[in-house]
Amino acid sequence: MKTFVAALGGALRRSSIQDAGLAAALLAGTWAVGGSAATPVVSASFAEALWPHARWVLIVICVAAVAVRRRWPIPALAAAALAGMVQMALAAGPVPADLAVPIILYTIASQRPRKASLALLGAALAVVTAWSAYVNLDGRVNGWVYEGPFGAGAGARAPEAPGPQPQGAERDLPLRDGGETLETFGPTDWGGTPVLGSLLVVAWAIGWGVQSRRAYLGQLEARARDVQRERDQQAALAVAAERARISREMHDVVAHGLAVIVMQAQGGAAAFAKRPADTLAALDAIVATGRASLADIRHVLAAPFVDGQIDDSARPVPGLAQLRRLVDQVEQAGTTVQLHIDGAPRPLPTRVDVSSYRILQESLTNTLKHAGPEAAAQVIVSYRSDELRLEVSDNGTNESISDGNGNGLRGMRERAALLGGEVATGRGPDGGYVVRARIPLDPGETA
C-alpha cells in the first residue's frame, strides 16, 4: 500500500510539473507575440486605460486552467472557454494562451470515459456554432482581422476612409461624407465553426487515441503479467510434481530394499547356529539387495521427469518385465508368492510400466512388513484390451496391518490417479490384505 501511494504521489508530481511547464510555455509565447496589444471594439479611453490589464487577466485565466487541467479538468475547461468568449466578444485577436480550450479538451478525452468527453465535445461545438451564427447574423462586420505573422497588433480595425477625418471621430471606424458611419464592427469568432470546430475535434480525437493506446498497452501489460504468473504457477506445479515423484520413488525403493534386508537378516540370524550356509546366502542377498537399492536411488535422483514421463534413455527403469525378479527377491526373504499372468503381455508405455511395477513392489513390501511369519501372497496381472488390472493379496493374520493411510498406499493411489486409474485396498473376505489397481490403457498406445 505504501509503495502504491508513493508511486501515485510521484506520478502526480510529474504531471503537475508537466502542466506547469506547458502553462509557462503558453504564457511566454503570448508575451512574445504581444498578447495585450490588440485593441477591442470599445471606446478609446477604456481601451487605453483598462484593456492591457483586462486582457492579461483573461490570459492568466487560460494559463491557470492549463496548469490545473488534470486535477480539475471540467472547471478548467469552463474557465478557459469563458475567457476565450470574452476576448471574442471584445474582438480581440487569438494568442497562444487561447489554445487552453483544445489542450484541456485533449486532456479530458485522454483521461475520462468516452461518453463524458464526447458530451463535452458536443457542448463545445454547440457553443462555437451558436457563437459563429450570432457573429454572422448580428449585422456587423467581424471585428478582428489578421495582421502580422502571429496576429500581433490585430484588432477591430478597418481601412481608413480617404480624405481628412473629422476631429474626434473614432479612427477605427470608416465614415461616409458628412460623418455618417459606413460600417459597424462587432464581435469575432476566430474563424468560426470551420476553424475552431475542427481544432476541437482534432484535439478530442488525439486525446481519445492516446487513451485507446494507453488501454491497449495496459491490456498487453496485464496479459504479460498473467502469462508470467501462469508460467510461475506451472513452474511451481512442476517442482511439486517432481518432489512428489522423488518422494514416491524413494519411498518405494528404500522401503522395499530395507524390508528385504531386514527379513534376510532375521532369517540369517536364525539359521546361523544350525545352517551357516543359509546365513551366508542371506548375507549375499542382503548385499545384492542393498546394491540394487542404491542403484535405484541414484537413478531416481538423476533421471529427468518430463511431462509426466521418466526419461529412461540413460538406464532402463524397472517394469513388469522385472516382475519375476521381484517375486524371487520376496521369496528369498521368506514369503511365498504365487504369480499369475492373465492375457497376453504386451509392451506398455513407460509411465504405465513403471507405475505398475511400483504398485506391485509396494504391495509385496507391505506383505513382508505386516502379513506376519509364514504368510503367503498371490499376485495377479491381467492384460485387457482397454485396461491393466493388478491384484496382490495375502493370508496374513498380523493385526498391525496398515489402516490404508500410510505413505506407501497413498503413493500407490497417486500413481494410479496420474494415469487416470484407481487403487482399492482393504482386508480380504478370508482375512489378510488385498490391493487392487486398475489402470486404463489406450489400445493404440505402446512403449
CB-based contacts of 423, cutoff 8 Å, min separation 6: 359, 409, 412, 413, 415, 416, 435, 436, 437, 438
Cell of 332: 528369498
Please list the residues that pair with 392 across neighbouring strands.
Answer: 379, 435
Q: What secondary structure does DSSP assign to 356-391, as a single string?
A: HHHHHHHHHHHHHHHS-TT-EEEEEEEE-SSEEEEE
- Helices 198-271, 100-111: crossing angle, 10 deg rounding: 30
98-102-104-109 Cα dihedral, nearest 10 degrees = 180
Count CA within 13 A, CB hemisphere, residue 309.
Answer: 10
CA 121 to chain centre: 34
DSSP 419: T
Distance CA 202, CA 109 (A): 11
Q: Give the CA distances from residue 104 to residues 49, 111, 121, 190, 404, in Å, rounded to whole numbers and listed in that order.
A: 32, 11, 11, 19, 73
Phi, psi of 45 (to 5 degrees): -65, -40
Sign of CA dihedral 126, 132, 138, 143: positive
The per-residue pLDDT string of the chain (447 residues; one tens digit each, 9 = 90 and over) reads 344 334 434 444 556 788 888 888 888 888 887 654 444 544 445 545 566 677 888 888 999 999 888 888 999 999 999 998 988 888 788 888 889 999 999 999 998 898 998 999 999 999 999 998 988 888 787 776 555 444 333 344 433 333 344 433 343 444 344 444 445 677 888 888 888 899 999 999 999 999 999 889 989 999 999 999 998 888 888 878 777 777 777 777 776 777 777 777 777 777 777 777 777 777 777 777 777 777 777 766 676 555 445 554 445 568 888 889 888 888 887 788 899 999 888 888 888 888 898 899 888 888 887 877 778 899 999 999 889 999 999 887 765 555 556 677 888 888 888 889 999 988 888 778 899 999 998 866 655
Q: How far apart are CA 249 and CA 254, in angstroms?
A: 8
CA neighbor of 145 nearest in space, from 116, 114, 185, 181: 185
Q: Return d(Cα 333, Cα 174) in angstroms, integer.
A: 128
Predicted TM-score of the model (pTM): 0.51
- 283 pairs with which residues across the strands? none
* Cell numbers that stand for 118 in this block: 464526447
Rounded CA-CA distance 149/400 in Å is: 104
